[in-house]
Amino acid sequence: MSKNKLQKFAELLTFPNVYENFNVQQPALTRLGEEVEMRGQWNKLHFKAERPITLELACGRGEYTLELARRYPDRHFIGLDVKGARLWKGAQAALQENLKNAAFLRTRIECIDHFFAPAEVDEIWITFPDPFPRKSKANRRLSSPFFLNIYRKILRPGGLIHLKTDADSLYEFTLEAWQQIPDLNILYADNDIYAKPLPFPELDIRTYYEEMHLKEGKKIKYIRGKLNAKH
Protein backbone atom coordinates (compact mmCIF):
# COMPACT_ATOMS: atom_id res chain seq x y z
CA MET A 1 0.00 0.00 0.00
CA SER A 2 1.38 3.41 -0.97
CA LYS A 3 2.29 6.04 1.59
CA ASN A 4 -0.23 8.37 -0.02
CA LYS A 5 -3.05 5.88 0.58
CA LEU A 6 -1.97 5.30 4.16
CA GLN A 7 -1.98 9.05 4.75
CA LYS A 8 -5.49 9.35 3.32
CA PHE A 9 -6.76 6.50 5.49
CA ALA A 10 -5.28 8.23 8.53
CA GLU A 11 -6.88 11.54 7.58
CA LEU A 12 -10.29 9.90 7.12
CA LEU A 13 -10.21 9.09 10.83
CA THR A 14 -10.10 12.84 11.53
CA PHE A 15 -12.90 13.87 9.14
CA PRO A 16 -16.15 14.60 11.03
CA ASN A 17 -18.23 13.90 7.91
CA VAL A 18 -16.91 10.33 7.41
CA TYR A 19 -18.24 7.12 8.97
CA GLU A 20 -16.40 3.82 8.50
CA ASN A 21 -17.16 0.15 8.94
CA PHE A 22 -13.92 -1.81 9.24
CA ASN A 23 -15.32 -5.33 9.56
CA VAL A 24 -18.35 -6.54 7.60
CA GLN A 25 -18.73 -9.41 10.09
CA GLN A 26 -19.25 -6.82 12.83
CA PRO A 27 -21.50 -4.09 11.38
CA ALA A 28 -20.45 -1.18 13.57
CA LEU A 29 -19.64 2.35 12.45
CA THR A 30 -16.75 4.49 13.62
CA ARG A 31 -16.50 8.27 13.42
CA LEU A 32 -13.53 10.29 14.72
CA GLY A 33 -12.17 7.11 16.30
CA GLU A 34 -15.32 6.32 18.29
CA GLU A 35 -18.05 3.78 17.65
CA VAL A 36 -21.41 5.36 16.83
CA GLU A 37 -24.93 4.01 16.24
CA MET A 38 -26.45 5.84 13.26
CA ARG A 39 -29.24 3.50 12.14
CA GLY A 40 -32.42 5.54 12.09
CA GLN A 41 -30.62 8.60 13.40
CA TRP A 42 -28.73 10.19 10.50
CA ASN A 43 -30.92 13.27 10.40
CA LYS A 44 -30.93 13.68 14.17
CA LEU A 45 -27.31 12.92 15.04
CA HIS A 46 -25.35 14.01 11.98
CA PHE A 47 -27.35 16.50 9.94
CA LYS A 48 -29.28 17.98 12.91
CA ALA A 49 -32.41 18.47 10.82
CA GLU A 50 -35.24 16.32 9.42
CA ARG A 51 -34.83 16.34 5.66
CA PRO A 52 -34.93 13.75 2.84
CA ILE A 53 -31.83 11.57 2.58
CA THR A 54 -30.26 10.54 -0.74
CA LEU A 55 -27.57 7.85 -1.02
CA GLU A 56 -25.01 7.70 -3.81
CA LEU A 57 -23.81 4.10 -3.97
CA ALA A 58 -20.28 3.27 -5.15
CA CYS A 59 -19.74 7.03 -5.15
CA GLY A 60 -16.00 6.94 -5.90
CA ARG A 61 -14.74 10.49 -5.53
CA GLY A 62 -18.23 11.63 -4.60
CA GLU A 63 -18.84 13.99 -7.52
CA TYR A 64 -22.58 13.36 -7.59
CA THR A 65 -22.91 13.59 -3.82
CA LEU A 66 -21.07 16.92 -3.77
CA GLU A 67 -22.91 18.51 -6.67
CA LEU A 68 -26.33 17.38 -5.45
CA ALA A 69 -25.50 18.81 -2.02
CA ARG A 70 -24.55 22.12 -3.60
CA ARG A 71 -27.72 22.31 -5.68
CA TYR A 72 -30.18 21.09 -3.06
CA PRO A 73 -29.28 22.57 0.35
CA ASP A 74 -32.68 21.51 1.71
CA ARG A 75 -31.82 17.81 1.30
CA HIS A 76 -29.20 15.51 2.81
CA PHE A 77 -26.74 13.41 0.79
CA ILE A 78 -24.51 10.49 1.77
CA GLY A 79 -21.86 9.09 -0.57
CA LEU A 80 -20.99 5.45 0.01
CA ASP A 81 -17.97 3.52 -1.20
CA VAL A 82 -15.70 0.77 0.06
CA LYS A 83 -12.54 2.49 -1.26
CA GLY A 84 -11.24 4.89 1.36
CA ALA A 85 -8.71 6.63 -0.88
CA ARG A 86 -11.49 7.60 -3.32
CA LEU A 87 -13.87 8.63 -0.57
CA TRP A 88 -11.20 10.89 0.91
CA LYS A 89 -11.36 13.25 -2.07
CA GLY A 90 -15.09 13.87 -1.81
CA ALA A 91 -15.08 14.12 1.98
CA GLN A 92 -12.21 16.62 1.94
CA ALA A 93 -13.98 18.75 -0.68
CA ALA A 94 -17.18 18.77 1.39
CA LEU A 95 -15.25 19.97 4.44
CA GLN A 96 -13.41 22.65 2.47
CA GLU A 97 -16.71 23.93 1.03
CA ASN A 98 -18.50 23.60 4.38
CA LEU A 99 -21.21 21.43 2.83
CA LYS A 100 -23.08 20.51 5.99
CA ASN A 101 -25.63 18.45 4.03
CA ALA A 102 -23.05 16.00 2.65
CA ALA A 103 -21.58 13.02 4.50
CA PHE A 104 -19.67 9.89 3.50
CA LEU A 105 -19.85 6.26 4.54
CA ARG A 106 -17.16 3.67 3.94
CA THR A 107 -18.60 0.17 3.87
CA ARG A 108 -19.79 -2.58 1.55
CA ILE A 109 -23.18 -1.96 -0.04
CA GLU A 110 -24.39 -5.40 1.04
CA CYS A 111 -24.29 -4.09 4.63
CA ILE A 112 -26.27 -0.86 4.29
CA ASP A 113 -29.39 -2.15 6.00
CA HIS A 114 -27.29 -2.40 9.19
CA PHE A 115 -26.67 1.36 9.04
CA PHE A 116 -30.04 2.70 7.84
CA ALA A 117 -33.48 2.01 9.29
CA PRO A 118 -36.57 1.05 7.25
CA ALA A 119 -37.83 4.03 5.20
CA GLU A 120 -34.90 6.22 6.36
CA VAL A 121 -33.66 6.76 2.79
CA ASP A 122 -35.70 8.67 0.19
CA GLU A 123 -33.60 8.19 -2.93
CA ILE A 124 -30.69 6.14 -4.28
CA TRP A 125 -28.27 7.07 -7.07
CA ILE A 126 -26.10 4.42 -8.75
CA THR A 127 -23.59 6.29 -10.91
CA PHE A 128 -21.32 4.40 -13.30
CA PRO A 129 -20.95 1.21 -11.28
CA ASP A 130 -18.89 -1.77 -12.35
CA PRO A 131 -21.15 -3.47 -14.97
CA PHE A 132 -19.85 -6.98 -14.17
CA PRO A 133 -20.50 -8.15 -17.75
CA ARG A 134 -20.03 -11.87 -17.04
CA LYS A 135 -23.36 -13.64 -16.43
CA SER A 136 -21.89 -15.50 -13.48
CA LYS A 137 -21.54 -12.17 -11.66
CA ALA A 138 -25.03 -10.82 -12.37
CA ASN A 139 -25.85 -10.64 -8.66
CA ARG A 140 -22.94 -8.24 -8.14
CA ARG A 141 -24.54 -5.64 -10.42
CA LEU A 142 -25.87 -2.88 -8.18
CA SER A 143 -29.15 -2.71 -10.11
CA SER A 144 -29.79 -6.46 -9.81
CA PRO A 145 -32.79 -7.96 -7.95
CA PHE A 146 -30.32 -9.13 -5.28
CA PHE A 147 -29.40 -5.54 -4.41
CA LEU A 148 -32.95 -4.24 -4.90
CA ASN A 149 -34.00 -6.55 -2.07
CA ILE A 150 -31.44 -4.79 0.13
CA TYR A 151 -32.59 -1.33 -0.96
CA ARG A 152 -36.17 -2.28 -0.08
CA LYS A 153 -35.14 -2.58 3.55
CA ILE A 154 -34.10 1.07 3.83
CA LEU A 155 -35.96 2.95 1.09
CA ARG A 156 -39.24 4.68 1.86
CA PRO A 157 -42.30 3.40 -0.03
CA GLY A 158 -42.28 5.14 -3.41
CA GLY A 159 -38.58 6.02 -3.11
CA LEU A 160 -36.60 6.61 -6.29
CA ILE A 161 -33.67 4.62 -7.67
CA HIS A 162 -31.51 6.13 -10.43
CA LEU A 163 -28.99 4.28 -12.61
CA LYS A 164 -26.59 6.23 -14.82
CA THR A 165 -24.18 4.14 -16.91
CA ASP A 166 -22.24 3.94 -20.16
CA ALA A 167 -22.50 0.14 -20.31
CA ASP A 168 -25.01 -1.23 -22.83
CA SER A 169 -25.04 -4.60 -21.08
CA LEU A 170 -25.86 -3.12 -17.67
CA TYR A 171 -28.54 -0.82 -19.09
CA GLU A 172 -30.26 -3.67 -20.96
CA PHE A 173 -29.95 -6.05 -18.00
CA THR A 174 -31.43 -3.46 -15.63
CA LEU A 175 -34.30 -2.58 -17.94
CA GLU A 176 -35.22 -6.23 -18.38
CA ALA A 177 -34.81 -7.10 -14.69
CA TRP A 178 -36.79 -4.11 -13.43
CA GLN A 179 -39.66 -4.83 -15.82
CA GLN A 180 -40.09 -8.21 -14.12
CA ILE A 181 -40.43 -6.73 -10.61
CA PRO A 182 -44.08 -6.06 -9.74
CA ASP A 183 -43.48 -3.38 -7.11
CA LEU A 184 -40.95 -1.42 -9.18
CA ASN A 185 -42.31 1.15 -11.61
CA ILE A 186 -39.92 2.35 -14.36
CA LEU A 187 -40.59 6.07 -14.67
CA TYR A 188 -38.03 6.88 -17.37
CA ALA A 189 -35.43 5.07 -19.48
CA ASP A 190 -33.13 6.45 -22.17
CA ASN A 191 -30.14 4.82 -23.89
CA ASP A 192 -28.62 8.16 -25.01
CA ILE A 193 -29.51 11.01 -22.67
CA TYR A 194 -27.43 13.69 -24.42
CA ALA A 195 -29.06 13.13 -27.82
CA LYS A 196 -31.93 15.37 -26.70
CA PRO A 197 -32.69 17.96 -24.00
CA LEU A 198 -32.20 16.45 -20.56
CA PRO A 199 -35.48 15.57 -18.83
CA PHE A 200 -34.07 16.13 -15.33
CA PRO A 201 -31.55 18.88 -14.45
CA GLU A 202 -29.43 16.68 -12.16
CA LEU A 203 -28.49 14.48 -15.13
CA ASP A 204 -26.04 17.12 -16.31
CA ILE A 205 -23.72 16.32 -13.39
CA ARG A 206 -20.71 14.59 -14.91
CA THR A 207 -18.40 12.38 -12.89
CA TYR A 208 -14.75 11.67 -13.62
CA TYR A 209 -15.73 8.37 -15.24
CA GLU A 210 -18.53 9.90 -17.28
CA GLU A 211 -16.19 12.51 -18.76
CA MET A 212 -13.79 9.71 -19.64
CA HIS A 213 -16.53 7.64 -21.28
CA LEU A 214 -17.81 10.60 -23.28
CA LYS A 215 -14.32 11.28 -24.65
CA GLU A 216 -14.28 7.67 -25.83
CA GLY A 217 -17.52 8.29 -27.73
CA LYS A 218 -19.72 6.18 -25.48
CA LYS A 219 -23.41 6.97 -25.00
CA ILE A 220 -24.69 7.66 -21.51
CA LYS A 221 -27.78 5.77 -20.40
CA TYR A 222 -30.22 6.45 -17.56
CA ILE A 223 -33.08 4.64 -15.82
CA ARG A 224 -35.31 6.07 -13.11
CA GLY A 225 -37.47 3.70 -11.07
CA LYS A 226 -39.88 4.00 -8.15
CA LEU A 227 -39.72 1.16 -5.67
CA ASN A 228 -42.68 0.52 -3.41
CA ALA A 229 -40.58 -0.81 -0.56
CA LYS A 230 -41.89 -3.64 1.60
CA HIS A 231 -41.09 -3.45 5.29
Q: Round to whole Å and give the CA distance between 109 and 77.
A: 16
Name the CATH superfamily for 3-227.
Vaccinia Virus protein VP39 (3.40.50.150)
Q: Round to whole Å and give the CA distance between 231 and 228.
A: 10
The domain limits of the chain are 3-227
Among candidate residues 81, 113, 122, 130, the one labeled active-site is: 130
- SS3 state at 126: strand
Among the listed residues 197, 23, 226, the one whose alpha carbon sits nearest the alpha carbon of residue 106: 23
Give the pLDDT score at 231: 44
**Is 130 assigned a catalytic role?**
yes
Task: Say whether pTM exceeds 0.75.
Answer: yes
pLDDT tens column, 128-152 = 999 998 888 889 999 999 999 999 9
Give the pLDDT score at 1: 52
What's the average model confidence in pLDDT over 163-183? 96
What's the average model confidence in pLDDT over 27-33? 93
What pLDDT band is residue 24 in, cutting at 50, 70 and 90? Answer: confident
